[in-house]
Chains A and B, each alone.
Chain A
Amino acid sequence: MIHARDLTVCLSGRPVLKGLSIGIEAGRLTAIAGPNGSGKSTLLRTLAGELRYDGELSIWGTSLRNQSPAVLALRRGVLPQSSESAFPFTVAEIVGFGLEAGARGRREDAGLHVARALDRVGLSGFAHRNYQELSGGEQQRAQLARVLCQIPEPVAADGTPRLLLLDEPVASLDIRHQLEIMALARDFASKGGAVVAVMHDLNLTALFADDLLLMRDGRLVATGPVREVMTDPVLEKVYGCRLRVNAVPERGVPFVLAQSVA
């Protein structure tokens, strides 16, 4: 669904993404991992259509350059790494913005959609709270509810798979909510949508992701199904420290144990 060839992005004149070629499929959860500053957020923002790029990048068979913000808003949602509100909106109001951005013409049951989205992220009862007064994790989940309202179904009515972009969706969440939110993302992919998530937690990645893109210094180091990519030498090369990949005995899911810095 997403094809990039020789994708290069410069920020303030510095090359941050250096000639990436990637393919991302609908129906799969693709994780992006790599050290700080390796360009994960930049790649996500490029896929969101925020940044100018050189090279080729097409989504849904069309170059991203030719897609207007309004049409993009109907097909892809983005959860930023964190986001503040300049004014004291209620949680319900903020989630409602997503509804307006995504699907026009179903105002009557807006309240119902908002309530359902809040329920999915475990925030029922928060509808009339001031967003600015929520904790970091609660804000993150409220934003996810907004995004889920914007692209409610993983596949649009015309059969186009939708794209969900998540930048460290579980970084500020407690362990139970990490599992719940990852399960939500997993569900979106299983129902035919495409999910791209920037992840720091390799074990959650192994549990929930289908594919893994490993980045370092703005370049792609390895890409493929999680189980093939997640090996000691690859991870050690990417992160520059000693790691041990094992398998959970009863399920065979890999898990990563940090060993030492060098």
Chain B
Amino acid sequence: MTAMDGDLNVGEARRPAEGDWRGAKRFVLPALAVFAVATVLYGATVGASDASLLELIKVLIGIGEPSATFAQDRIILLELRLPRVLMGFLVGVSLAVSGAVMQGLFRNPLADPGLTGVSAGASLGAVLVIILGDTMLGPVTRAMGPFALPLAAFGGGLASTWLLYRIATQGGRTSVAMLLLSGIALAALTGAATGFLIFFADDRELRDLTFWGMGSLAATSWPKLGAAFLVTMPALLVAPFLARGLNALALGEAAAFHMGIRLQQLKTVAIASVAAATGASVALSGGIGFVGIVAPHLVRLALGPDHRRLLPASGLVGGALLVLADSAARTVVAPAELPIGILTAAAGGPFFFWILLKNRARLAV
């Protein structure tokens, strides 16, 4: 019975350490929230101009003397930097939560809105507005103001998701393999449509498009932030209610059904919220990749895969990551600026490879 005794000893020796960590896990979410706020404040203090957030706050609450450049600093901080940092945070949260929800839905740690064609559909919507917004669609985009781009992208994301659904759903059930394969076809189709539009673009539109495609938060304003917030919020608010269903789904569709989950409802809500959150992000920042894979993966390593913790924690990590990446994008080559998409791809690409290598045995099917 030595083997059995050995087993028990391992269990015994492990328990206190695990217990401590499980106790500590309760503090991780609040700690992450504090960290996220800190990165936002940090993002608001750094930049090409040396406008000081601290000075602004001091003056605003009446304990400091305005400096010579105060009026200009105030505009830089309040009209440019703050909305941009908050937008970065919102986009990071949306991408990370969409990624985590999608991975839960597809039961695959590598799934991502990019893989299923949701991003492709969303960017087709955005490209339509960017290229035809001044001409053919002029009256519509003018009437919708800052909502035009995020709503068009949301529409594109939702339309592609709806199409996916029609193709991949049979007899009330969605096959994940079909969904992924349809996603590939859909990405090719929307890519072709986008290319067709680009063919007719003039030089200025092309430049806009190129920068948008590389991913940038540069042209942020309060109205744009507000519009993005309104499109994303319902999706982020519904995410916590998906947690139990996604946990159960990890054991397979049948097991989730046995545990009382309404599968079709879970899938519909998850897909719609992913389309909204991804659509708004794609519209506002273009091609920012890998946040949706990196943030949830980091959280799973630290906290485990339980979606009740994973969803909020991924959101906070994704938001903080993107604010930090954007701060770097704004400062490393100041006064010029790197497109943030290049930074996230440069860091996320190798990370993705690392995940692939680690899971090679399991994913080789």
Contacts and interface: CB of A to CB of B under 8 A. Distances in A.
A68 B265 CA distance: 13
Interface in A92-150: 93-94, 97-98, 100-101, 124-126, 128, 150
Contact of B260 (A50, A72, A124): A72
Give the one of A74, A78, A101, A126 with max B CB within 10 A: A101
A69 interface: yes
Contact of B305 (A73, A87, A100, A125): A87
A70 interface: yes
Contacts of A59: none
B296 to A, nearest CB: 10
Contacts of B108: 86
B252 A84 contact: yes
B251 interface: yes
B124 to A, nearest CB: 30
A78 B258 contact: yes
A85 interface: yes
Interface residues of B, number: 30
B244 interface: yes
A86 B256 CA distance: 12
B6 to A, nearest CB: 11
Contacts of A76: 258
A69 B251 contact: no
A83 B255 contact: yes
Give the one of A45, A69, A90 with max B CB within 10 A: A69
B257 interface: yes
B305 A74 contact: no
B304 interface: yes
A77 interface: yes
A80 B11 CA distance: 28
Interface of B: 7-8, 10-11, 14-15, 18, 107-109, 171, 244, 247-252, 254-255, 257-262, 300, 304-306
B250 A74 contact: no
Nearest to B300: A87
16 contacts: A48-B258, A50-B254, A52-B171, A70-B262, A73-B259, A78-B258, A80-B252, A85-B250, A85-B251, A86-B108, A87-B300, A87-B305, A89-B250, A126-B11, A128-B14, A128-B18
A77 to B, nearest CB: 7
Give the one of B8, B247, B260 with max A CB within 10 A: B260
Given A73-B259, A124-B11, 12 more contacts: A69-B257, A84-B251, A84-B252, A86-B251, A87-B109, A87-B305, A89-B250, A97-B248, A101-B259, A101-B260, A150-B258, A150-B259
A88 to B, nearest CB: 6
A8 to B, nearest CB: 16
A93 B255 CA distance: 15
Given A93-B304, A97-B247, A69 B252 contact: no
Contacts of A94: 251
Nearest to B248: A97
A124 B107 CA distance: 28
